[in-house]
Amino acid sequence: MRRQVVIIGSGPSGLLLGQLLHRIGIDALILERSSKEHVLSRVRAGVLEEGTVGLVRATGLAGRLDAQGLRHDGIEFAFDGQRHRIDLHELSGGKRVVVYGQTELTADLMAGREAVGAETVYEAADVMPHGFDTDTPYVTYVHGGVTHRVDCDFIAGCDGYHGISRRAVPAGAISTFERSYPFGWLGLLAEVPPVSHELIYASHPRGFALCSMRSPTRSRYYVQCDGDEKVENWSDQRFWDELRRRLPADAADAVTTGPSFEKSIAGLRSFVAEPMRFGRLFLCGDAAHIVPPTGAKGLNLAASDVHYLFEALREFYGERSAAGLDAYSPRALARVWKAVRFSWWMTLLLHRFPDASPFAEKLRATELDYVTTSRHAAAALAENYVGLPY
Classify the phi-psi angles of 145: left when phi > 0, otherwise alpha if psi is within -120 to 50, otherwise beta.
Answer: left
CA distances from 389 to 36, 52, 358, 370 (A): 33, 11, 38, 25
Residue 53 · residue 64 · CB < 8 Å: no
SS3 44: coil
Kindly give the residue spans of alpha helices, DSSP state H, lying in 246-357: 249-254, 298-319, 323-350
Name the DSSP letter for residue 309. H
**In sequence order, which residues have a C-beta less than 8 Å from that of residue 170 and are 6 or more positions away?**
none
Backbone angles phi, psi at 159, to 5 degrees: -105, 20
Residue 278 · residue 156 · CB < 8 Å: no
SS3 84: strand
CA distances from 61 to 25, 56, 108, 279, 305 (A): 17, 6, 7, 32, 19
Pairing between β-strand 120-121 and β-strand 260-274 as defined by DSSP bridges: unpaired
Neighbours of 327 (CB within 10 A): 15
* Helix or strand (DSSP H, E) at 361: helix 358-373
Write out the catalytic residue numbers. 72, 201, 293, 297, 385
Q: How far apart are CA 8 and CA 139, in angstroms?
A: 9
Cα dihedral: 39, 45, 51, 53 (round 10):
70
Q: How far apart are CA 370 and CA 77, in angstroms?
A: 12
